[in-house]
Amino acid sequence: MGKFKIFIPCEEANHVCDKTQYKNATLLEKIKLNLHLLYCRACREYTKNNTKLTKTIAKSNIEFLDKSDKEKLKDNFEKALKEQLH
């Protein structure tokens, strides 16, 4: 079995923070993140801002395009871009 690493670098902590916002982080990842946050001020700030952004978006009642509408928009954009380039 590989070496168990409890301390993680900032890049990994930020990735776990993002995963946590979308409820995709494991319990072990959350524990490692919280340990990291005890000693890393920059990552605490990142986490705080990430949480604030997530809550703001949730409260905003923004309507998002569904997947098929996104594809149509992308196709139309690419078609218009080709027309402009030629």
Domain ranges of the chain: 10-85
d(CA 83, CA 45): 45
* Mean pLDDT for the stretch of residues 43-65: 90
Q: Considering the chain, what is the average pLDDT of its residues?
A: 90
pTM for this entry: 0.64
Structure confidence at residue 28 as a pLDDT band (50, 70, 90): very high
pLDDT the model gives residue 3: 60
Residue 15 pLDDT greater than 80, yes or no = yes
Packing angle of the helix pair 41-59, 27-39 (nearest 10 deg): 120
pLDDT the model gives residue 49: 96
Residue 2 pLDDT greater than 60, yes or no = no
Sign of CA dihedral 77, 78, 79, 81: positive
